[in-house]
């Protein structure tokens, strides 16, 4: 069966960030005049993160206000001084400029692959657990937004568990007006991306850039995006 549409995950598939989340948060704090060690930030994130994750286990509830709450609670755990709500807002403004400030990078083969697929008449989309606005900022930063007809996230898809919710895939299929066997999804996360897309009947392709998934045999495995050329030619 010919593939009509290809969806890509974002992080680890199309883009990557050369710094850890903890380092990024530390850089934000320093810009705001707050000096905490990486160890302090790791401890605070562990303390706050678990309860926040439970409260917002439903991805559709992860609004800007929810992330402001997280920023506030993290600052509180770090015993930061000053107006914590104002500081939380400033922290969030940096997060919203994450692609620029974290020096997010595009994998080198992405543009040529997207160009090849587009010229082949394949519908392209992004399907990620990110907020859609966040994905769009990255796509625009790297000059590839124009390739994608659809950018899908949990909130607009009504998918409480993001990619692990059937609603995410149903929404994507409706958007491209295709049957599951006419759609391919490329993801670097086996459990959260490959397994649920397979359950939806979509052709799942695991992107294993580091060669860590040596035991996987129930889906196509590639080590760089250019390898999808051969996969599509075979179908």
pLDDT tens digits, residue range 81-110?
999 999 999 999 999 999 999 999 999 999
The percentage of the chain sitting over the pLDDT mark of 90, rounded to a whole number, equals: 97
**Domain ranges in the chain with CATH number 3.40.50.1000:** 5-17+104-233
Sequential DSSP letters for the chain: ----EEEE-SBTTTEE-SS-HHHHHHHHHHHTT----HHHHHHHHHHHHHHHHHHT-SGGG--HHHHHHHHHHHHHHTT--S-HHHHHHHHHHHHTTHHHHTT-EE-TTHHHHHHHHHHTT-EEEEE-SS-HHHHHHHHHHTT-GGG-SEEE-HHHHT-TTGGGSHHHHHHHHHHHT--GGGEEEEES-IIIIIHHHHHTT-EEEEE-TTS--TT--SSEEESSGGGHHHHHHT-
Return d(Cα 219, Cα 235) in angstroms, integer: 15
The class level of CATH for 5-17+104-233 reads: alpha beta
Give 222's strand partners: 207
Query: pTM of the prediction?
Result: 0.93
- pLDDT for 120 beyond 80: yes
Give 201's strand partners: none
**Domain ranges in the chain with CATH number 1.10.150:** 21-101
Return d(Cα 92, Cα 208) in angstroms, integer: 32
In the CATH hierarchy, which fold is given to the domain comprising 21-101?
DNA polymerase; domain 1 (1.10.150)
Q: Which two tokens stand for residue 122?
A: 């394949």
Q: What's the pLDDT tens digit per position in 189-210?
A: 999 999 999 999 999 999 999 9
Return d(Cα 198, Cα 153) in angstroms, integer: 18
Return d(Cα 190, Cα 170) in angstroms, integer: 19
Report whether 7 contacts 126 (CB < 8 A).
yes
Q: Which two tokens stand for residue 126?
A: 């992004």
The percentage of the chain sitting over the pLDDT mark of 70, rounded to a whole number, equals: 99
- pLDDT for 235 beyond 70: no
Report whether 202 contacts 183 (CB < 8 A).
yes
Give the per-residue pLDDT at 1.
54
Return d(Cα 128, Cα 37) in angstroms, integer: 31
């Amino acid at each position: 069966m010919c593939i009509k549409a290809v969806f890509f995950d974002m992080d680890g598939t199309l883009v990557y960030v050369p710094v850890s989340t903890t380092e990024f948060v530390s850089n934000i704090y320093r810009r705001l005049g707050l000096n905490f060690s990486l160890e302090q930030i790791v401890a605070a994130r562990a303390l706050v993160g678990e309860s926040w994750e439970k409260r917002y286990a439903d991805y559709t509830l992860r609004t800007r206000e929810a992330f402001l709450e997280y920023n506030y609670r993290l600052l509180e755990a770090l015993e930061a001084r000053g107006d914590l709500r104002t500081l939380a807002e400033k922290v969030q403004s940096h997060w919203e400029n994450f692609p620029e400030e974290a020096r997010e990078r595009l994998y080198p083969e992405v543009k040529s692959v997207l160009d090849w697929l587009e010229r082949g008449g394949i519908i392209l989309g992004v399907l990620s657990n990110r907020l859609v606005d966040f994905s769009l900022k990255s796509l625009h930063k790297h000059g590839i937004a124009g390739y994608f007809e659809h950018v899908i996230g949990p909130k607009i898809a009504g998918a409480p568990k993001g990619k692990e919710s059937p609603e995410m895939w149903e929404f994507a299929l409706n958007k491209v007006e295709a049957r599951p066997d006419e759609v391919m999804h490329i993801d670097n996360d086996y459990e959260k991306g490959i397994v649920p897309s397979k359950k939806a009947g979509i052709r799942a392709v695991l992107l294993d850039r580091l060669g860590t998934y040596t035991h996987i045999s129930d889906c196509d495995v590639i080590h760089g995006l250019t390898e999808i050329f051969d996969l599509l030619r075979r179908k």
